[in-house]
Amino acid sequence: MRNAAREETMSDTQTMSVTPLDAPAGAKVTGVDLSQPLNHENGEGILDALAEHGVLVFPDQNLTPEQQVEFSRLFGEVEINHNAARFGIEGSPEIYIISNVTKDGKPIGSSRAGEEWHSDMCYAKRPARATMLYAVEVPTLHGMTLGDTAFANAAAAWDALPDEMRDRIRDLRAVFDFTKRKRPYVPDAETIAKYPPVDHPMVRRHPRTGRLGLYVMKVDSTSVVGMEQEDARRLIDALSDHIIKPRFVYRHQWTPRDLVVWDNCTVQHKAIVDYDHPQRRLMWRTTIRGDVPV
Return the exposure string of 46-68: e unless at least 16 CB atoms fall within 10 Å of the residue's CB, then b.
beebbbbbbbbbbeebebebebb
Distance CA 190, CA 168 (A): 37
What is the predicted pLDDT for the residue at 184? 58
Q: Domain extents for the chain?
A: 6-289
Active site annotation includes 274: no
Average pLDDT, integer, range 32-46: 93
What is the predicted pLDDT for the residue at 185? 60
Active site annotation includes 269: yes
Indicate which residue of 129, 200, 211, 269 is catalytic: 269
- The pLDDT confidence band at residue 186, using thresholds 50, 70 and 90, is low
Distance CA 68, CA 45 (A): 18
What is the predicted pLDDT for the residue at 227? 98
Indicate which residue of 53, 120, 220, 252 is catalytic: 120
Distance CA 198, CA 233 (A): 17
Closest C-alpha among 2, 51, 110 to residue 262: 51
Return mean pLDDT, the chain: 92
The dihedral built from the CA positions of residue 204, 199, 251 and 162, taken in this order, carries a sign that is negative
Write the pLDDT tens digit of every residue in 121-178: 999 999 999 999 999 999 999 999 999 999 999 999 999 999 999 999 999 999 999 8
Question: At a CB cut-off of 8 Å and minimum separation 6, what does 151 contact?
Answer: 25, 26, 54, 55, 249, 250, 251, 252, 262, 267, 268, 269
What is the predicted pLDDT for the residue at 57? 99
What is the predicted pLDDT for the residue at 82? 79
Residue 97 pairs in a beta bridge with 284
Active site annotation includes 242: no
Whether the model pTM is above 0.85: yes
Indicate which residue of 173, 204, 252, 285 is catalytic: 285
What is the predicted pLDDT for the residue at 193? 86
Indicate which residue of 118, 129, 200, 242 is catalytic: 118
Name the more confident of 62 and 3: 62
Active site annotation includes 120: yes
What is the predicted pLDDT for the residue at 240? 98
CATH code assigned to 6-289: 3.60.130.10
Write the pLDDT tens digit of every residue in 87-128: 999 899 999 999 999 998 899 999 888 899 999 999 999 999
- The pLDDT confidence band at residue 183, using thresholds 50, 70 and 90, is low
